[in-house]
Amino acid sequence: MNRIRLLPEQVANQIAAGEVIERPASVVKELVENSLDAQAARMTVEIQAGGRSLVRVVDDGLGMSRDDALLCLERHATSKIRRAEDLAAITTMGFRGEALPSIASVSRFTLTTREREGDSPEGTQIVISGGKILEVKAAGSAPGTTVEVRQLFFSLPARRKFLRTEETESAHIQHYLTLAALAYPEVAFVFQRDGRLVWQLPAVKAGSDAASRLAALRERLRALYGGEQQLLTVDYSAEIRSPDNFEDTTGTPSSTHFRLWGFIGAPGVSRSTREDQHLFVNRRPVENRGLNFALLEGYHTALMKGRFPVCSLFLEIDPAAVDVNIHPAKREVKFHREAEVRRLAAQAVRQALLEFHAGKSEPGPRKPAAQGAPFLAVEPAAAQADRPAEQSALPNFPVALEPAPAQLAKPAAQQPPLRMGFSPATPASLPTTSPESPTVPPGTLSPEGQATHLTHLIPPSSTIPRPPLPGEPVPLLKVPLRLVGVIGRLYVVLESDRGLVLLDQHAAHERILFEQMLNRLEQNDQAPSQRLLLPETVELSARDASFLREQLPALTRLGVGLSEFGERTFLLDALPPFVKAPDARRFVLELVDELKAAGRELNSLRLGEHTVAKTVCRHAVKANDPLAGRELEGLVEDLRHCAMPYTCPHGRPTLIEMNFRELEKKFGRTQ
Ligand code: ADP
Ligand code: MG
């Protein structure tokens, strides 16, 4: 007995709809994608009741002839690809030829379309209900296409039940529209919800060159979010080469161009969800775990635990190097060279964050603003360097204020009168690109030295400075700061010509120590260590002892002289000079506790040097007395020389700024 039969078309469509059309936002997504593929310059999206009762998308795109309008409702009918090979080089949003028939099979559906380039003054209208064509007629309409989807899932009560509140469904729709609007700034978008206008985004003129695309994206972001977002520019290119012995079964070309561009939140700008993390691959909004990780990796210590970056990043890569056909709703992509893409993306983000502080993203050439008020760091560098270390509340705290070699080499006229870090870091001033530049002496922490340490992997092509964009923030540590005082023995109050600045003394100190430590490790292979006059033994529980044993190599390299002295006993005989531990035993016990806590987060037995360094620094900072006058100035100055000064090694902010606009708002002077 034959039991297999082909499903009727309508059932097949409903099954496809089950995958493609999950909720009203999927309808919006498919319709908007179609309008974008049809080269619309303007589109209006209207929804009612979270898209359950109505989704209407009106575009002024290419439109369709009567025949095409009928054909587009057939399954696997598409104008976007012809052959299987085309799947490897998709440049349109759609290609599966499934969306329209799927939507039409689960709603009351009306398509009205008229060819933009045709000579007929009339268009075509097709009315479908639950997949059945009710009417096909000529209809007066403007060139372009209107699709109206009413009563989604009316024939599938089970499906309807799965829908969430109108509020939630609307939020999903708005999220998708945000993505589409970011990817296509040159398209004007109008969004109406329940008869109310939500957005009216004017078209942004965009050329095809990198700078004008960035500027267009910036403008679209401003239209969507206002100008308050502190964003940094990312623009990073590299080649992904296949290894020589790479057996190519995927059709990936031997070398693929990789470019990541867009904007990321400045250090300290983050959210508790991924909601404002917008990632695109070849202009398609995507979800990709590798890219998510790359972002977190790129931010590294500039992001607090449990927080997510804010970004709009566009990855451009040869379409043959990415598979967009792994998800029915085309939401996910798979890279053929996943690890490489992830590594480069992290590097792109990291470089943008480092450049921000190095001053490359400053808008326009800046005059040293030090003329005028008695700003911080009035002390000449040499005088500070002469300051006897013992007088400082930070014992042996390296003063490190010698002008960096690159700055010495510059003509005097270009030099700011005080070392405020104003000299724009041109590629020539980075030791990375000039091999003969003198090496930074160990213990000297200059921004340039840091840049060497952290950017040595970056291909030279990507270090070419990009013309600054209007609206990019001037990093806080690039403007002069005046010391006002200290509150709560912890928060340093400063003032800039932009407003109020608060500095968390401990967080800042931690960051400085952390970078100095890593910097020295990089240069010396061993952080400095001071022998204790009275070595002490510490006995631990068996569990703690075996945990600590795992961390000994890292601790030794970081200058903490701990060694095994018995089954469960350790000998502490040296400490990094900046760690003031009056009670050595307590120091070890606390260190073990803190390392254990860090280890639980990482879920690994042996902690890396970075993690151990973070912990040692935090401990060192805790032991410090409140600072005063000179030392505070030194602290800010040292912070200026960090590569990632705006967050402590755990990602908490070191500085908070409240500009005059915000102050005026708070005092009710402005709205
Ligand atoms: P796909 O987008 O994968 O090709 P769809 O079912 O979404 O499949 O659309 C089928 C076809 O209908 C498209 O290939 C396109 O030719 C045509 N089409 C759909 N929407 C529009 C539109 N808004 N303007 C012009 N043509 C459209
Ligand atoms: Mg489509």
Atom of ligand 1 nearest to the CA of 33: 2
pLDDT at 50: 96
CA dihedral 469, 473, 476, 479 (to 10 degrees): 50
The answer, yes or no, to whether residue 414 has pLDDT greater than 60, is no
Kindly indicate the confidence band of residue 301, based on its pLDDT and cuts at 50, 70 and 90.
confident
Whole-number Å distance between alpha carbons of 264 and 299: 10
Atom of ligand 1 nearest to the CA of 101: 6
CA of 43 to the centre of ligand 1 (A): 15
Average pLDDT over residues 543-551: 90
- Mean pLDDT (the chain, rounded): 78
E strand or H helix at 484, and its extent? strand 482-487
CA of 329 to the centre of ligand 1 (A): 15
pLDDT at 249: 56
pLDDT at 193: 97
CA of 113 to the centre of ligand 2 (A): 15
Average pLDDT over residues 352-375: 50
More confident residue, 668 or 615: 668
Q: In this structure, what token pair is assigned to residue 585?
A: 């035993």
Please report, rounded to a whole number, the percentage of residues in the chain having pLDDT higher than 70: 79
pLDDT at 410: 33
Closest ligand to Cα 95: 1
pLDDT at 248: 52
For 379, list phi and psi in degrees, rounded to 5.
Answer: -75, 130
pLDDT at 602: 57
Strand 561-564: give its sheet, edge to edge. Answer: 530-539, 569-575, 561-564
Whole-number Å distance between alpha carbons of 593 and 604: 15
- For residue 482, CA distances in Å to 476, 500, 633 come to 12, 10, 9
The answer, yes or no, to whether residue 27 has pLDDT greater than 60, is yes
The answer, yes or no, to whether residue 316 has pLDDT greater than 70, is yes
- Whose Cα sits closest to atom 17 in ligand 1? 72
Total residue count of the chain as it appears in this document: 671
Whole-number Å distance between alpha carbons of 184 and 171: 20
Pocket test for ligand 1, best of 37, 45, 73, 126 (most atoms within 8 A of CB): 37
DSSP character at residue 366: -
CA of 26 to the centre of ligand 2 (A): 11
Write b or e for each residue in 381-397: b if 16 or more Cβ atoms lie within 10 A of its Cβ, otherwise e: beebeeeeeeeebbeeb
Atom of ligand 1 nearest to the CA of 144: 24
CA of 57 to the centre of ligand 2 (A): 13
- Whose Cα sits closest to atom 7 in ligand 1? 99
pLDDT at 137: 96
Kindly indicate the confidence band of residue 375, based on its pLDDT and cuts at 50, 70 and 90.
very low
Q: Which of 403-417, 582-596, 604-618 has the lowest mean pLDDT?
A: 403-417
Whole-number Å distance between alpha carbons of 349 and 261: 9
Pocket test for ligand 1, best of 42, 80, 100, 330 (most atoms within 8 A of CB): 100
CA of 68 to the centre of ligand 2 (A): 14
Kindly indicate the confidence band of residue 247, based on its pLDDT and cuts at 50, 70 and 90.
low
Closest ligand to Cα 60: 1
CA of 73 to the centre of ligand 2 (A): 11
CA of 78 to the centre of ligand 1 (A): 6
Treating both helix axes as pointing N-terminal to C-terminal, what angle do 609-622 and 584-602 enclose, rounded to 10 degrees? 140
More confident residue, 541 or 401: 541
Closest ligand to Cα 78: 1
What is the distance between the terminal CA atoms of the chain, rounded to a whole angstrom? 78
Treating both helix axes as pointing N-terminal to C-terminal, what angle do 447-455 and 505-524 enclose, rounded to 10 degrees? 60
Kindly indicate the confidence band of residue 445, based on its pLDDT and cuts at 50, 70 and 90.
very low
Kindly indicate the confidence band of residue 470, based on its pLDDT and cuts at 50, 70 and 90.
low
Rounded to two decimals, the pTM is 0.70
- What residues flank ion ligand 2 with Cβ within 5 A? 34, 94, 99
Residue-wise pLDDT for 525-544, tens only, equals: 777 788 888 888 999 999 89
- Whose Cα sits closest to atom 13 in ligand 1? 78
Whole-number Å distance between alpha carbons of 566 and 564: 6
Closest ligand to Cα 101: 1
Average pLDDT over residues 258-279: 91
Atom of ligand 1 nearest to the CA of 96: 3
Closest ligand to Cα 109: 1
Q: Which of 22-36, 255-269, 273-287, 294-308 has the lowest mean pLDDT?
A: 294-308
Whole-number Å distance between alpha carbons of 225 and 653: 23
Closest ligand to Cα 69: 1
The answer, yes or no, to whether residue 153 has pLDDT greater than 80, is yes
pLDDT at 13: 81
- The set of protein residues with a Cβ atom below 6 angstroms from ligand 1 is 30, 34-35, 38, 59, 61-64, 72, 77-80, 94-100, 145
- Whose Cα sits closest to atom 27 in ligand 1? 34
- Whose Cα sits closest to atom 18 in ligand 1? 34
CA of 100 to the centre of ligand 2 (A): 7
Please report, rounded to a whole number, the percentage of residues in the chain having pLDDT higher than 90: 40
Whole-number Å distance between alpha carbons of 351 and 459: 11
pLDDT at 31: 97
More confident residue, 607 or 388: 607
Kindly indicate the confidence band of residue 270, based on its pLDDT and cuts at 50, 70 and 90.
confident
> Are the C-beta atoms of 529 and 628 separated by less than 8 Å?
no
> Are the C-beta atoms of 218 and 471 separated by less than 8 Å?
yes
Average pLDDT over residues 344-371: 66
CA of 45 to the centre of ligand 1 (A): 17
For 85, list phi and psi in degrees, rounded to 5.
Answer: -60, -30
CA of 64 to the centre of ligand 1 (A): 9
Atom of ligand 1 nearest to the CA of 57: 23
> Are the C-beta atoms of 570 and 548 separated by less than 8 Å?
yes
Kindly indicate the confidence band of residue 303, based on its pLDDT and cuts at 50, 70 and 90.
confident
Non-local (6+) Cβ contacts of 576 within 8 A are 517, 527, 528, 529, 530, 558, 559, 560, 616, 620
Residue 61 CA from chain centroid, whole number: 33
pLDDT at 251: 53
- Whose Cα sits closest to atom 23 in ligand 1? 35
Q: If you average pLDDT over each of 354-363, 480-489, 592-601, which comes out highest?
A: 480-489
Kindly indicate the confidence band of residue 457, based on its pLDDT and cuts at 50, 70 and 90.
very low
For 5, list phi and psi in degrees, rounded to 5.
Answer: -140, 160
Treating both helix axes as pointing N-terminal to C-terminal, what angle do 289-299 and 338-358 enclose, rounded to 10 degrees? 30
> Are the C-beta atoms of 89 and 3 separated by less than 8 Å?
no
Q: If you average pLDDT over each of 191-195, 228-232, 634-638, which comes out highest?
A: 191-195
Residue-wise pLDDT for 610-652, tens only, equals: 778 888 887 766 655 667 778 888 889 999 999 889 998 888 8
Q: If you average pLDDT over each of 163-177, 314-328, 457-471, 625-639, which comes out highest?
A: 163-177
- Whose Cα sits closest to atom 2 in ligand 1? 94
Kindly indicate the confidence band of residue 442, based on its pLDDT and cuts at 50, 70 and 90.
very low
